[in-house]
Amino acid sequence: MNGKSILTVDHLSMRFGGIVAVSDLSFDAERGKITALIGPNGAGKTTVFNCITGFYKPTLGAMRMTHLDGRAIQLERLNDFRISKLAKVARTFQNIRLFPGMTALENLMVAQHNALMLASGLTFLGLIGAPSWRTAEKRAIDLARLWLDRIGLIDRADDAAGNLPYGDQRRLEIARAMCTEPALLCLDEPAAGLNARESAALSELLLSIRTDHGTSILLIEHDMSVVMEISDHVVVMDYGVKIAEGTPQDIRDDPKVIAAYLGADEEEAIAVMESGT
Amino acid sequence: MTAPAAEPKLASRAPDVAFIFKKALISALVALVLFSLMIGIRTEAGPAGQLIYLTRFGELAAVVAAVFGGSIVVELLRQWWGPVGTIRIVPPSVQRTLAVARRAIAPVLLIFTFLVPVIFYDQRYILDLGILVLTYVMLGWGLNVVVGLAGLLDLGYVAFYAVGAYSYALLATNFGLSFWVCLPMAGILAAFWGVLLGFPVLRLRGDYLAIVTLAFGEIIRLVIINWQSLTGGPNGVSSIPRPSFFGIPLTPGDDGLAAKLGIEFSPTHRIVFLFYIILALALLTNWVTIRLRRLPIGRAWEALREDEVACRALGINTTTTKLTAFATGAMFGGFAGAFFATRQGFISPESFTFQESALVLAIVVLGGMGSQLGVALAALTMIGGFELFRGLDQYRMLVFGLAMVLLMIWRPRGLIGHRAPTVFLQHSQAISSDLVKEGHG
């Protein structure tokens, strides 16, 4: 609840019929930091993401997005596309959702839709080819070019996104989310399916997004090497509730977390840890 | 991209003879079973009224042989001339010639279209056919925005055509407004109805959307039939004024265009004039669509076709995006409708049946969803080709159906099956239809 946090999740609960996917979850994501949300399969991480990014309406609880200028937005009151447009929260998907029949460059241009829509005078200025529109379009292409360069896809800018290798598609989706110029970037398992070299490159990309752009990142991840390497803060969930929170180091040594991942009791986990050390 | 493509090219160079033979044999077997009773044996009433049967094994053998041969030909053609993006066995030199021909086809067609009234000046039939083809080209381009770009399956497009036609007909006959004043009004009214249709169907996808749009087309037609006091019901609206040339009517009188220009009056003048009006309207549709594709709204339409969820995650308002697609498509339909009314001079609900919607949709699908040139070629084939086969009498439909089947075998995604990018850094390369989604809502 301090001025440093960009996203405050407050007593969030999400119920699907009789199933409680998320129960009374509270955590903060700090501005300019990388916050990781981890937990075993089915812990409710993606549900939390879908609540934050407006794909689900939470049953209970509040999520507040605080911008640098002091503007506070209650995310649970916005829906659908407004989360991205007004609250400046961008997201990627667990199973990549690019526009496969459009080129990499076009994907990044679509991401700048709202800015370009204004620049094209709601299409009318663009239709007559007004100079202001032309410069705006050039700037948009430059931004796209910058991001293509950063993810190392500048040579494949004119290839269909669906034709790119898996790892490139993952990075392109992150670049596309960044082209909406978000304050908070939510990544749903960005390292899933990547090999060791690609994960290392991804970690580097995420760190540079945080440092160079000042964009805060919230990520769900299973790849612990990525989580431990780049996160500033880790929140651990199991069965829809938060079981631990802290720095990567704290989490690594937390018996509750180990128990959750091993599917064992806490005492057993402590025993395992003690016998190990 | 080039390295992996080279390998399968060599592998598939020799058509698999055994496979083709097997497939043909199976087809022939199916034909034998099917036709043995239908063609092989014929029953007739005998002289005493009893049932007798004749065998026609010769004809049966001929049909089965035709199926066998046809199957081999189709399979060979399919391997040679597969869908865009697959590897072909056509020699590279032929491919290069084809590529050049493909690039030249649009400008050549355009120039030819401009010259049609000059070349066929004294052939009224050709001119009328040209106007008809151009009307369908325009309708196809209009529907292409909705179906091809935004991926929203619209089976009731004829409704907007009807709204445009009746808007002009009623405004002109009741208030005496001129064609050029009514034309934009007809477009705006049709667009308004497009938005009106768009609202209730926003949440529907795929088959459900198709059914509701189909119903909408029928509702408009039924309202026109039953609202007798306004539309004249089944009797339609007659004596709709003809368009004037900047206020100068094309009539034989002293104030007519011919008299003012000092040339002899001919009814062909009006036909040529109408030809150029619809050509201009169609080209306007094409120009606007091409421009829109390169604007954020057009990219949002295509993105919507590709993945609606991703669009929402990027902050694109899918509601307004869908509505603008409906409205834009409907507006062009309205323009075409107004032109139709002024050309015919008489309209009735019979001109706006579901068959028209189906025909326009067939043009868009056949042309290749989203491709402007493809739609124009498809309209030419469907409307012009249909006239071409008129000499075949009762076999016309058969030949036409066969042509459609063959086309769908070679070009399952339409005549022009690939998508051209709207923006590029180094070079624009066509995107294979395998990657482009058809849309589902």
Q: Contact A53/B313 with Cβ under 8 angstroms? A: yes
Which chain B positions have a beta carbon within 8 Å of A116's beta carbon? 295-296
The CA distance from A229 to the nearest CA of chain B, in Å, is: 28
Report the alpha-carbon distance of residue B194 to residue B160 in Å, rounded. 7
Report the alpha-carbon distance of residue B382 to residue B366 in Å, rounded. 9
Which chain A positions have a beta carbon within 8 Å of B428's beta carbon? 158
Looking at residue B139, what is its pLDDT?
Answer: 95
Q: What is the dihedral of CA B350, B367, B307, B204, to 10 degrees?
A: 10
Looking at residue A264, what is its pLDDT?
Answer: 64
pLDDT tens for A170-212 read 999 999 999 998 999 999 988 888 888 888 888 999 999 988 8
Chain A / chain B CB contacts < 8 angstroms: 137
The token duo for A224 is 């612990």
Q: Contact B368/B413 with Cβ under 8 angstroms? A: yes
Half-sphere exposure of A232 (CA within 13 A, CB side): 16
Looking at residue A268, what is its pLDDT?
Answer: 67
Q: What's the pLDDT band for A251 if we cut at 50, 70, 90?
A: confident
* CATH for the stretch B100-242+268-410: 1.10.3470
Looking at residue B13, what is its pLDDT?
Answer: 46
Distant-in-sequence, close-in-space partners of A29: CB < 8 Å, separation ≥ 6: A5, A6, A7, A8, A9, A35, A184, A216, A218, A233
User: Residue A265 above 70 pLDDT?
Assistant: no
Count of beta carbons in the 10 Å neighbourhood of residue A257 = 22
Predicted TM-score (pTM) of the model is 0.83
Q: Which residue has the higher pLDDT, B15 or A110?
A: A110
Q: What is the DSSP string of B147-204?
A: IIIS----S-THHHHHHHHHHHHHHHHHH---HHHHHHHHHHHHHHHHHHHHHHHTT-
* CB of B76 less than 8 A from some CB of A: no
User: Residue A276 above 50 pLDDT?
Assistant: yes
Contact check, Cβ <8 Å, A103/B292: no
Category of A5 on φ-ψ map: left (φ > 0), alpha (ψ -120 to 50) or beta: beta
- Kindly report the average pLDDT of chain A as a whole number: 86
pLDDT tens for B138-184 read 999 999 999 989 989 899 999 999 999 999 999 999 998 888 989 99
* Three-class secondary structure of residue B430 per DSSP: coil
CA A127, A128, A133, A137 torsion-angle sign: positive
Contact check, Cβ <8 Å, A101/B421: no
* Residues in chain B, total: 441
Looking at residue B86, what is its pLDDT?
Answer: 46
Looking at residue B17, what is its pLDDT?
Answer: 81
Interface test with A, best of B145, B203, B289, B306 (most A CBs within 10 A): B306
The token duo for B356 is 């028209």
Q: What is the DSSP string of B306-342?
A: H-HHHHHHTT--HHHHHHHHHHHHHHHHHHHHHHHHH
Contact check, Cβ <8 Å, B421/A126: no
Q: Is the reported ipTM for this assembly greater than 0.90?
A: no
Q: Contact B157/B375 with Cβ under 8 angstroms? A: no
The token duo for B110 is 């355009």
Say what percent of chain A tops pLDDT 70: 94
pLDDT tens for B191-238 read 999 999 888 888 888 788 889 999 999 999 999 999 998 888 888 888
What are the mean pLDDT values of chain B's consecutive 10-residue runs (441 residues total)? 41 66 90 87 83 86 91 79 51 73 83 86 88 94 92 91 94 89 93 90 84 91 92 87 79 75 80 92 93 92 91 90 93 95 91 90 84 89 81 75 77 78 82 75 55
Single out the residue of B115, B119, B167, B113 nearest to residue B137, CA to CA: B113
Domains defined for chain A, CATH in brackets: 5-88+182-276 (3.40.50.300), 103-180 (no CATH)
* Three-class secondary structure of residue B240 per DSSP: coil
Domain residue ranges of chain B, discontinuous segments joined by +: 2-80, 100-242+268-410
* Three-class secondary structure of residue B122 per DSSP: coil
Which chain B positions have a beta carbon within 8 Å of A56's beta carbon? none
Q: Contact B201/B323 with Cβ under 8 angstroms? A: no
Category of B160 on φ-ψ map: left (φ > 0), alpha (ψ -120 to 50) or beta: alpha
| Residue B74 CA: distances (Å) to CA of B9, B44, B59, B236, B401 | 20, 36, 22, 47, 15
Looking at residue B15, what is its pLDDT?
Answer: 57
Report the alpha-carbon distance of residue A175 to residue A147 in Å, rounded. 6
